[in-house]
Structure formats: structure tokens, C-alpha cells
Amino acid sequence: MDKVLARGSGNPAARPRARTALTLAVAGVAVVAATVTVASSASAGTTLGSAAAESGRYFGTAVAAYKLSDSTYVGILNREFNMVTPENEMKWDATEPSQNQFNYTNADRIVSHAQANGMRVRGHALAWHSQQPGWAQSLSGAALRSAMTNHVTQVATHYKGKIYAWDVVNEAFADGGTGARRDSNLQRTGDDWIEVAFRAARTADPGAKLCYNDYNTDGQNAKSNAVYAMVQDFKARGVPIDCVGFQSHFNSASPVPSDYQANLQRFANLGVDVQITELDIEGSGTTQADNYGRVVRACLAVSRCTGITVWGIRDSDSWRASGTPLLFDGSGNKKPAYTSVLNALNGGGTPPPTTAPPTTTPATTAPPTTPPPSGNGCTGSLTLNQWQGGFVTYVRVTAGANPINGWNVVLTLPGGATITNTWSAQPSGTTGTVNFRNLDYNGSIAPGQSTEFGFQGTGVGPSGTATCSVR
């Protein structure tokens, strides 16, 4: 389906070893000095794009055409990224400033730059209530519907074969607790405007993945539930949809949701790809870096999360520049958030904190007169996040009075529940009574300390406590 041979794209299974060998060979004499970096992962990528490609994913950025003459900007773009999204140049106002008169000059510059440098392109956005040209803003009813269909058809045809994925429809749902569609001139043409746009896009470019894209849908809430229901309905009725984009614009008022990964996973379970499409996180230093790491690890944990796009390169390029939300500072230097993202892509940040064994020397005096606490030696407590038709359960495993070096948690799922995805533990099955065993990195827990694993499923999830035993 890919028409552009992308740097770092293709069959994930075929690439990593070859790249590793090349990287190490090129590193040559520098290997000794670089031991600390290289040793952490035999196949570590050294740029965002190459690190993401190790797991078959892309790492992209929004690009503004007028910045393609800025050498610092282009240097970072070409070095780090293997997907680009035109930040404004493919929007309706830019591509069809007068009705049926199309202008692709700036969008074409970005597409040409991408093709010349082995990057793929996410098209953004065919149908949206915002950034419409004035002539479209003043249309309604059948005239607007037909103008929209024509726009989708013309633009998707112009770029046929050059787009990895299109944001066919952007931001069509309202914020707040209603789960309603957002009011707009497009919405007032009838509820079916979204599926009409998707069908027109499929007809025009059958090779592009077709995405629905929105914000404030990054965790489970009324808005994301409404998008979920739409995707479920589209899949059931054969409306062509291949992916859902999660914009992921975060700040202190809108932080990374605790169920971010679970939310990506429940959409993936509907049979669509999920993509993080406009990531930026306001902040600085360690806090910002940690949040970026969480987002990247969430995507990596969801097999159908196919890639991540940040919404700009340097902080100064951001639509929210004052919030310094990106991976490079205004001078183009890598920020701690960059390192956190690269480490996460390379798998370096994955293991949850497990507490080191106590460093105090055991007492050499008289043996204890009371026997150490007996029993199972660990406990398992469950936190359930339930929604209609699905759930995520987090299990906290806590050691008793003695250190433990391996654990088993056994619990029984309610009838009809099926596990679809587990992280940080190895499950024995997906229904009924399931035994979860620690992984290599989280079996050892110091006295009184804990670690956490989780699983997602369909149906009603378990809650309460689980039986924990030491291995």
C-alpha cells in the first residue's frame, strides 16, 4: 500500500538486524567510548525515526512549508523524522481558496521534500469545521454537502498514491459530557456527512489509510465513547475506516490520562490502527520527559499503534510556543523529553520501578526468636476501570515481610469476560481462572514494596483481591 519507499518503513521483522549491524559497523572505533549507550540495547536506534522503525512504527512531525528554508529546522527534520504532516497546507482554506480552484503549491512542497528524503506523509485534513475558506463557510445544505464531497475527491485524487494516511474528518464531536456531534455547517448537512467523506476518500485513493482524528479523546470519556461507537458502527456497516488519530495535546489542565494506553487498546480492538497524531506536552525538565515517555510506551504496548507524530520540531515552532511543549528547544537542542522519547522507543524506559533489595547488612547476632511471617508472602489487589463492553484491571502485587523473587497471581474472571491484552505479566489464558506470572524484570520485590501489572478485556472485569503466591 505504500507508494513511497520510506526510510525505516517496510516489514518490521526484516529490518532491525540489518540496521543494527550497519550502525555498529559505522560506529567502528567509537564503540568502546560509546559502550554505555550501545550496551543498553543491541538494536538501539539513534534517531527518533530509526528507533521507532525498530518496532515497525514511524515517528513524525508537523511541518510548515515556509520553514523548509530554515537550515536548522530542515537539519533536524531530515535527521530525526520519517513521517510528516503538513501543519496547515492541506487544509480546505489552503487547498481550495476559491470554489473548485485548487492550489497545492505549499502542500506539494512538503510532499516533495518528504519524498526526496524518504519520509511518508500523513494528510491533514480533508473535512473539518475549522479553517474552511470563506466561500464554504457561507454554504449550507445540499450545496455544502456537494462542495465537501468534491473537495475530498479532488484533494485525495491529487495526492493519490502519496499519502500514508488521511485525516479524512477532524474534530467532529463536541467536548463535554454529552457525546454529541459538534455543531457546524457540515454537521447541519446531516449526520451522514462523516461517512460520505470517508467513502469519497476511499474511492479517490484506495491505497491511503483513512483516519478519524480528534482531541480530548485520549482517555475514556463521553467524547471518546462517542467516537468509539461511531467506529464500531462504521465497521459493522462497512463504512471504510482504517485508523483513529489521537491528537494528544497535553498540559497541566489536560494531562496524559491514566487510561491512555487502555483507551488506545480498546479502539485497536475494534479492528482499526491507532496513531498519536499531534503530540505535544507543555512543561519542562523531568516532568515533561516522564510524560513523553509514558505516551511513547503506551503506543509501543499497543500493537496496532502504528506511529507517533509530534506537533512541531522546536518549541518555537509550536502553536503553543510559550508552553515549550516539544522535543527540541528554540535553538534546536535536544531536550530531556527527547532523550526520554528515544529511550522509550528503544525499550530503555519500559520496566516499572521495582525496588532494589535492602542494602543493610543482616544482623549477625542471635537468630530471631519469633519465626518470620509465614503465609503466601504477597498480596494482590485489583483496581477495575469498567465501561460498557470492556474493562482494564490493574493488579498491585505487594510483598509481605520478606523479599520475594517471583510471584503468581491467580484470579477468576467473571463469566463472559475475555482478556485481550496483558502488560507486565505472563497470563496462562484469557478466560475463567487465569494465572499471571511475573516477567524477568519485575519478579523481585523488597519487603512491603510493590509492582503493578494490568490487563484489558471485553465483558465485565474482575475486582477486589486476587490470590498471590511466591514462586
Which CB, 67 or 396, lies closer to ligand 9MR? 67
| CB atoms near residue 37 (< 10 Å) | 15
Which CB, 172 or 378, lies closer to ligand 9MR? 172
β-pairing, 58-63 vs 209-214, is: unpaired
Q: Which of 102, 135, 319, 387 binds ligand 9MR (CB under 6 A)?
A: 319
The interface with ligand 9MR within residues 193-252 (CB under 6 A) comprises 215, 247
429-448 burial by CB neighbour count: b if 16+ within 10 A, else e? ebeeebebbbeeebbbbebe
| CB atoms near residue 29 (< 10 Å) | 7
Count the helices and strands in the chain (H runs, E runs).
Answer: 13, 17
Residue of 171, 195, 282, 452 marked active site: 171
Give the nearest distance from C-beta 254 to ligand 9MR in angstroms.
12
Which CB, 152 or 413, lies closer to ligand 9MR? 152
Residue of 89, 96, 278, 282 marked active site: 278
Give the nearest distance from C-beta 215 to ligand 9MR in angstroms.
6
The interface with ligand 9MR within residues 385-414 (CB under 6 A) comprises none
Q: What's the start-to-end Cα distance of the chain, in Å?
A: 48
Give the nearest distance from C-beta 325 to ligand 9MR in angstroms.
11
Give the nearest distance from C-beta 71 to ligand 9MR in angstroms.
21
Q: Is 89 a catalytic residue?
A: no
Which CB, 130 or 157, lies closer to ligand 9MR? 130
Cα separation, 324 vs 251, whole angstroms: 10
What is the residue type of 182?
R
Taking CB under 6 A as the rule, which mask of x and - marks residues 132-171 in contact with ligand 9MR?
--------------------------------------x-
Which CB, 242 or 278, lies closer to ligand 9MR? 278
Give the nearest distance from C-beta 66 to ligand 9MR in angstroms.
11
Record the cell numbers describing residue 366, joined without a space: 542471635
What is the residue type of 3?
K
Complete edge-to-edge strand list for the sheet that includes strand 390-399:
418-423, 450-458, 390-399, 378-387, 465-470, 407-412, 433-437, 426-427
Q: At what angle do helices 193-204 and 141-158 cross, to 10 degrees?
A: 30
The interface with ligand 9MR within residues 413-442 (CB under 6 A) comprises none
Cα separation, 369 vs 349, whole angstroms: 43
Contacts (Cβ under 8 Å, ≥6 apart) of 112:
none
Which CB, 15 or 314, lies closer to ligand 9MR? 314
Q: Which of 26, 23, 32 is nearest to 346 (CA)?
A: 23
Q: Which of 98, 100, 105, 130 binds ligand 9MR (CB under 6 A)?
A: 130
Which CB, 167 or 195, lies closer to ligand 9MR? 167
Residue nearest to ligand 9MR (CB): 319
Q: Is 87 a catalytic residue?
A: no
How many residues touch ligand 9MR (CB under 6 A)?
Answer: 9
Q: Which of 55, 7, 46 is nearest to 296 (CA)?
A: 55
Cα–Cα distance list, 115 to 86, 111, 164 (Å): 13, 6, 12
Give the nearest distance from C-beta 270 to ligand 9MR in angstroms.
22
The interface with ligand 9MR within residues 246-285 (CB under 6 A) comprises 247, 278
Give the nearest distance from C-beta 156 to ligand 9MR in angstroms.
17
The interface with ligand 9MR within residues 286-305 (CB under 6 A) comprises none
Q: What are phi and psi of 16, to 5 degrees?
A: -55, -45
Cα separation, 352 vs 372, whole angstroms: 28
Give the nearest distance from C-beta 125 to ligand 9MR in angstroms.
6
Query: Is residue 131 near ligand 9MR by the rule CB under 6 A?
Result: yes
Catalytic residues: 171, 278
Task: Give the residues lining the site for ligand 9MR (CB under 6 A).
Answer: 87-88, 130-131, 170, 215, 247, 278, 319
